[in-house]
Amino acid sequence: MAKNKSAMIVVAVLLVVVVVGAGFFIFRGPKETEEILTSAGLKVAMVTDVGGLGDKSFNDAAYDGLKMVEAEIGAEIKVVESSKMEDYVPNLKSLADQKYDMIWAIGFLMTDALAEVAEMYPEQKFGIIDAVVEQDNVHSVVFKEEEGSFLVGVVAGIDSKSQKVGFVGGMEFPLIQKFEAGYLAGVKAANPNAKIYTAYAGAFDDPAKGKELAASQFNIGADIVYHAAGATGLGVIGAAKEKGAGYWAIGVDKCQHAEGQVGEENYVLACMMKRVDVGVHKATIEALNGDFTGGVTELGLAEDGVGVCEAAKETASAEALAKVEEFKTKIVAGEFVVPTNPKDVN
């Protein structure tokens, strides 16, 4: 009995050591990481493009990435909104003067501004979305927008009843032309006889102009209009909602189906997801963990950086979605290369 009691005591002691040791092993690493990150008062900020927060698209997606960082490690986050392009440099400089640990410039329009400020603050870590700034203290995240746009073009080409579809871009720059080129190619791949109307609003923050352009395309026969226009694109969705049954918008960057809901009906056919949130989150966490590098990260279909939103299953046809999967497989495998210039679409 004494031997059994002694054995039980030994086992109990070992169990306590194992449990405590295991607990120490399991929880110490993450706890120490969290304490280091939060106690150091790590701060991350972003400067928006002129569209600002509330665009339900590009800037909001970047902000989602910052909120993911905040939730994961408790970092302080800040957003500075730009009302005009002249705000870019002072906004970036202000944050650099406050010594934020990572500062994001959201959008290709900020390329020159960031290049200027990054040179002035060589020790500051910066990131930029949709452009490449070749400096050691800047990490650039770019996307293969043409690939995701091709897939929603396939949806439009198959699901259009009128065989006429439209595209509304924000500003006519090479980046936005990648959206246009991919979309045109996708529509033509799915429906060679389809007619495509294109227009540019000249702004990313003008929903009224987006609505006007989309309405004009609907009025000449288009029944689906894709936008790559930031907050301007909210007007495209509004035009589809006003037009009513049989008319659709295709959203961009985030899932915009909520914007297309009217009662039990939805007027957003699909959305081209561009994971700006993932790009911001991943590069920020790496920077805060001491793994910051300059250079470029490019995200396409193969990296799940672009694609078609899950909500499209509720609105797009099964035929269209099956064709999307077929083309996605070919693109990822390198069997099909999507053009990046509208002039290259036959």
pTM attached to this predicted model: 0.84
Tell me the per-residue pLDDT of 272-314, one tens digit each, with 9 for 90 and over. Answer: 999 999 999 999 999 999 999 999 999 999 999 999 999 999 9
Dig out the tokens for 68 from the structure: 């993911």
Confidence category of residue 239, pLDDT binned at 50, 70, 90: very high
Same structural domain, 188 and 77: no
Same structural domain, 149 and 159: yes
CATH number of domain containing 196: 3.40.50.2300
Same structural domain, 227 and 205: yes
Domain hosting 136: range is 41-143+277-299
Triad 233, 53, 248: Cα angle to 5°: 20
Residue 155 lies in a domain: yes
- SS3 of 169-184: the string is ECCCCHHHHHHHHHHH
Least confident of 8-17, 38-47, 72-81, 117-126: 8-17
Same structural domain, 246 and 188: yes
| Chain centre to alpha carbon of residue 191 | 28
Interatomic CA distance for residues 153 and 135, integer angstroms: 36
Residue type, 262: V
Q: Are the C-beta atoms of residues 242 and 219 closer than 8 Å to each other?
A: no
Tell me the per-residue pLDDT of 191-200, one tens digit each, with 9 for 90 and over. Answer: 999 999 999 9
| Chain centre to alpha carbon of residue 94 | 25
Confidence category of residue 22, pLDDT binned at 50, 70, 90: very low
Average pLDDT, the chain: 89
pLDDT for 34 equals 37
Percent of the chain residues past pLDDT 70, beyond the cut: 88
Confidence check: pLDDT of 235 > 90: yes
Same structural domain, 229 and 101: no
Q: Which of 146, 199, 145, 191 is nearest to 317 (CA)?
A: 191
Same structural domain, 86 and 169: no
Interatomic CA distance for residues 267 and 224, integer angstroms: 10
Confidence check: pLDDT of 36 > 60: no
Residue type, 65: G
Same structural domain, 283 and 268: no
Residue 26 lies in a domain: no
Domain count, the chain: 2
Same structural domain, 217 and 331: yes
Same structural domain, 127 and 245: no
Same structural domain, 175 and 239: yes
Confidence check: pLDDT of 51 > 60: yes
pLDDT for 33 equals 34
pLDDT for 40 equals 56
DSSP 3-state assignment of 229? coil
Dig out the tokens for 95 from the structure: 């944050």
Same structural domain, 293 and 334: no
